A = this chain, B = another copy of it.
Amino acid sequence: MKFEVTILGSSSATPIFNRNPTAQVLNINEKLYLIDCAEGTQQQMLRFDVKGSRIDYIFISHLHGDHYLGLVGLMSSMHLNGRTKKLQLFCPAPLKELIDLQLKYSETTLHYPVEFIFTRTDVSEVILDNQDITVETIPLDHRISCTGFLFKQKKRMRKLIKDRIEELQIPVPYFTALKKGRDYEAADGTVYKNDTLTVDSAEPKSYAYCSDTLYNPKYFAQITGASLLYHEATFLNDMLDRANQTHHTTALQAAQVALDTKAGKLIIGHFSARYKTLNELLDEAQSVFPNTELAIEGKTFIISE
């Protein structure tokens, strides 16, 4: 099952030419999930051919402008482009007030329903559970209420061994039962054990999105073993004081999180505008956790195929 994330923005609050503030889009089984929606996200979607009409879920980590100021524009464009299907919006509660007020003053009545699901920062919760995934909030430690999001693929049914199925000429109506683990009894009474007809599906993968946060082990247990971890890395470690003061993380610390939580792979992002090039941030992280890559606009990371 396709499970991949494309970076739409990788910078922190102060703008810098050629980097956009935070937004990412997940493609999970051909459904799109937008995570954060900074100013300019719509333009990035056009640039990287991400269709707004395919997005049914939007997740906003917190109400600093560099994570949500593109949302009302995107929602208005969905409206102007004729959307009628429901949008689910997972966000801090005050965002509803902000959106309602902006729609009120622009005298806009959206042609599609928006379902708000408010996030909490005192406890982790499952906020979405559909046929493909579950999504849990990750309470983080930022200056204002902030959650990350943990996307967990569901365990899929067992896979048929096609050659064996054909050989035994097992009829199609039996397939679902086989995938669920049932044995097969042929017309002549012979019983074929399930594990001779099917193989286990791949282990479910997971994606942990840790936006703005102080390095704080409180969220480590929850994200342990993530196939792919995105973690903010606003500063180099020589600015650790500044990171602590602003409740951000350094590249070194982000790599330490990946190491401590046994991540499969790490992506770092949310880079301060002071870094015109990103090599030093990458080098610093890789010195602790070699399997690290940079969040680069337009780059897609495959979590499972």
Contacts and interface: CB of A to CB of B under 8 A. Distances in A.
A151 to B, nearest CB: 26
A106 interface: yes
B15 A77 contact: yes
Nearest to A67: B106
A41 to B, nearest CB: 9
Interface in A79-129: 80-81, 92, 94-95, 97-98, 101-102, 105-107
A73 B65 contact: yes
A97 B80 CA distance: 25
A143 B95 CA distance: 26
A72 B38 CA distance: 12
A89 B95 CA distance: 24
Contacts of A42: 15, 39
Contacts of A16: 46
Contacts of A94: 101, 105
A172 to B, nearest CB: 46
A44 to B, nearest CB: 10
A105 to B, nearest CB: 4
Nearest to A16: B46
A69 interface: yes
A65 B104 CA distance: 12
A177 interface: no
Contacts of A39: 39-40, 42, 69-70, 73
Interface in A153-199: none
B15 A63 contact: no
